[in-house]
Amino acid sequence: MLRATVPGALLACVLALALRLPYLGADSLWYDETVSAYLAEQSARLLIAHTALDIHPPGYYLLLRLWTLLAGNSEYSLAFLSLFFGVLLVPLSSLLARRLFGPPAAVVAAAAAAVSAYSLWYSQEVRMYTLAACLALLLALVVERLPRRPAEWRLALAYGLLATLSLYVLYYLAFLIAFLSLFWLVWAVRAGATRASAWRTWLVAHATALLLYLPWLPTAIRQAIDPPVPPWRSPLSLAAMFASGAQALAGGEALADAALPLAVLAVVLAVAAPIVLVGGRRGALVVGAFAAPWLAIVAASLYRPLFHARYLLPYAPFFWLGLASLTRATGRRLHLGLLALATALVAANANAAAAAWHQPRFRPDDLRSAVRQLHEHWAPGDAVLVNAGYAYTALAYYWRGPVQWQGRLTAYGGHRAGQGPLVLIGGSLGGGASLGWGDPRSDFYATTLSETGAAIERVLEQNRRLWVFRIYDTVTDPRGELRAWLNSSYILTEDQPIPGPSYGRLQAFVPRSSELPCKEPLKWAGELAMCADMMEYPADGDRVAVQLHSSALGSRPLADYHYTLRLVDAAGANVAQRDGVLGGSALAERPLGGGTVVSQPIALLLPPTAPAAQYRLLLGVYVLPEGQWLNLAVETAQGPSELVPLGFLSLTAPARH
């Protein structure tokens, strides 16, 4: 029997690895993944404290932390742990299928686990779902033997240990554990075990699990009954929960809508085949292990929205086993029909995998490029508001420079941004008092527009510019109150979309003003008035920054003008340069009234190859599309000037990067 299944399982493992390695770590981490990456960098104590105020248990994060100590914390390394468990699903599925249905089913189950686009998706995501699926299969492998050996204490203890680990990894495995516990007890008695021996073994297993889980149990109960997070799931209809579940099991969340009838057919067969062709204990185990948790989640979602297709992945291996039981069917015509079904499912999964990799609607939010853009444009004196406060983990993972201060926006106490930004964590407008359970360490807290607005005003009294890392604000600002207040109270100077499905944006706001802060402004061709100040350069910095205050004097809007900021050496050669829209790129979409002064900090990144020397910083202004340079209205000592010297910069060492 082993001779027939081991080569097939090994080939399926190779195929699974070959399918999962491409694109691994290529995309940005999305929000949930940045939480994983952030927690993997914390000490065990801080990690456990953080998860106690969230909605997931700490088990996966602790394992990921151990993994990163060995393999590093790049996107590739982080995702490789999920890939490992995704590949491990192949031999585990094959082993259980062989025990239940025989060698042919073992080969089919291994192949299904290898080519599943659903498993492939989560094998490349830095989350706990493939680990949870492996634990689900291990639990089923133990329970499959227990009804026949009800007095086997080692199996009972193994079940207790696996159940505990499962609940420390993903709460949704509780639905499977509930089914398996009932299944074990019923079939142990039906198999001829005395009620006393069956109950004793059952109680030992569950007492072991309870004892090991007891330290976390109060937290888990509280998280389930009174979640400390803002509600983010919208209620789904029964039809939607069953349709999206079938779609995920059959080919993943990127399965084409046109393949929904095929997915429904596959689910029907995965339920019917084990019952009709196998029956008894083995058929009930497979069908119940994916259908019972699915039904339980749907039922619970009628009370509190819990359903998401990702939470069915731990039960997907039993769906594959249900399809593998079709190998017990007889008849040439039936075999031809099953071959056609298998071909259609493989094709649908291949199409779903390609869509997940290449179609923009399935790509994650590109938080990496958003933080990179923020880092390139950040200047000393800038604060960063993460409007959905819990999303700061994207900054924590991708921002590799110093952070001056981080805390709740409403707790801001006058800190000034220095060599690093202030990272301000926003709250949920109109949120319930139970958010974060009132714990000041929580990422979640309720606030009001007046409280938030007053805090932002304090921030911009002490700092030059406020960046808003805006994402998921339909959760934290469902009526758009903060968005409207910011747009009416301040000048929006930068507004760049964050690619991805969440419609995030990276925005910058500066205070409104009608007066230039200097007594003798620069006058550019009688069209522009400007104050320009070079900020102090820190000895170990990686950028030099300039603060411009600009006002258009004529009818031409400020956004028609472009600045150039250049660092040149003693020979006049460019060492670094930055060009952009004067005032900010967002002004082209939102023209300002005449006389409005726009403040604009500009950061010029210094190349790490620049030798220690003295450099000049030059500023120029030109008009597009004509490309016409503006001269100063008043001549300098050197005559009419296009590039105005702002100051000197002495580098004593290469710039820090």
Domains along the chain? Answer: 367-511 (3.40.50), 522-650 (2.60.40.2550)
Tokens read off for 482 = 């903060």
Of 65-79, 211-225, 417-431, the poorest mean pLDDT is in: 417-431
Distances (CA, A) of 502 to 117, 276, 479: 22, 44, 16
Confidence of residue 653 (pLDDT cuts 50, 70, 90): low
Contact by Cβ (8 Å): 236, 298: no
Amino acid at 353: A
Torsion angle of C-alpha atoms 347, 349, 353, 356, degrees rounded to 10 = 120
Given this model, what pLDDT does residue 33 score? 97
Q: How do residues 248-275 score in pLDDT, each as one tens digit?
A: 999 999 999 999 999 999 999 999 999 9
Given this model, what pLDDT does residue 235 score? 84
Element holding 498 (H helix, E strand)? strand 490-498
Across residues 471-499, what is the average pLDDT? 93
Round to whole Å and give the CA distance between 584 and 16. 48
Closest listed residue to residue 249, CA positions, set 262, 236, 239: 262
Beta strands in 277-421 (DSSP E): 382-386, 405-408
Give me the percent of the chain exceeding a pLDDT of 70.
95
Most confident listed range (42-46, 222-226, 330-334): 42-46
Per DSSP, the three-state class of 506 is strand
Given this model, what pLDDT does residue 334 score? 80
Mean pLDDT, the chain, as a whole number? Answer: 90
Distances (CA, A) of 611 to 129, 218, 368, 655: 50, 60, 30, 9
Given this model, what pLDDT does residue 1 score? 45
Given this model, what pLDDT does residue 371 score? 96
Round to whole Å and give the CA distance between 228 and 298. 22
| Residue 635 scores a pLDDT above 90 | no
Residue 627 vs residue 396, higher pLDDT = 396
Q: How do residues 573-622 score in pLDDT, each as one tens digit?
A: 999 999 999 999 998 877 776 778 999 999 999 888 888 888 999 999 99
Closest listed residue to residue 26, CA positions, set 59, 62, 72, 75: 75
Round to whole Å and give the CA distance between 412 and 365. 28
Round to whole Å and give the CA distance between 316 and 598. 56
Q: How do residues 13-57 score in pLDDT, each as one tens digit?
A: 999 999 999 999 999 999 999 999 999 999 999 999 999 999 999
Given this model, what pLDDT does residue 62 score? 98
Distances (CA, A) of 57 to 34, 53, 381, 505: 16, 10, 38, 30
Amino acid at 19: L
| Residue 625 scores a pLDDT above 80 | no
Given this model, what pLDDT does residue 417 score? 78
Closest listed residue to residue 241, CA positions, set 308, 170, 304: 308
Most confident listed range (118-132, 229-243, 297-311, 615-629): 118-132
Q: How do residues 76-130 score in pLDDT, each as one tens digit?
A: 999 999 999 999 999 999 999 999 999 999 999 999 999 999 999 999 999 999 9
β-strands 614-623, 628-629: how paired?
antiparallel
Closest listed residue to residue 615, CA positions, set 568, 575, 653: 568
| Residue 529 scores a pLDDT above 70 | yes
Given this model, what pLDDT does residue 647 score? 87
Across residues 453-478, what is the average pLDDT? 93
Across residues 389-397, what is the average pLDDT? 89
Torsion angle of C-alpha atoms 540, 542, 544, 545, degrees rounded to 10 = -110
| Residue 384 scores a pLDDT above 80 | yes
| Residue 630 scores a pLDDT above 90 | no
Given this model, what pLDDT does residue 466 score? 97
Given this model, what pLDDT does residue 181 score? 94
| Residue 193 scores a pLDDT above 70 | no
Give me the percent of the chain exceeding a pLDDT of 90.
66
| Residue 429 scores a pLDDT above 70 | yes
Confidence of residue 657 (pLDDT cuts 50, 70, 90): low
Of 155-159, 459-463, 633-637, the poorest mean pLDDT is in: 633-637
Identify the residue whose tokens are 């699974």.
16
Given this model, what pLDDT does residue 243 score? 95
Q: How do residues 416-428 score in pLDDT, each as one tens digit?
A: 877 788 999 999 9
Sign of the dihedral defined by the CA atoms of residues 151, 154, 155, 160, in that order: positive
Tokens read off for 80 = 């490789």
Round to whole Å and give the CA distance between 426 and 445. 8
Across residues 184-196, what is the average pLDDT? 76
Given this model, what pLDDT does residue 211 score? 96
Q: Following DSSP, what letter does each residue of 17-53 receive, concatenated?
A: HHHHSTTTTTSPP-HHHHHHHHHHTS-HHHHHHHHTT
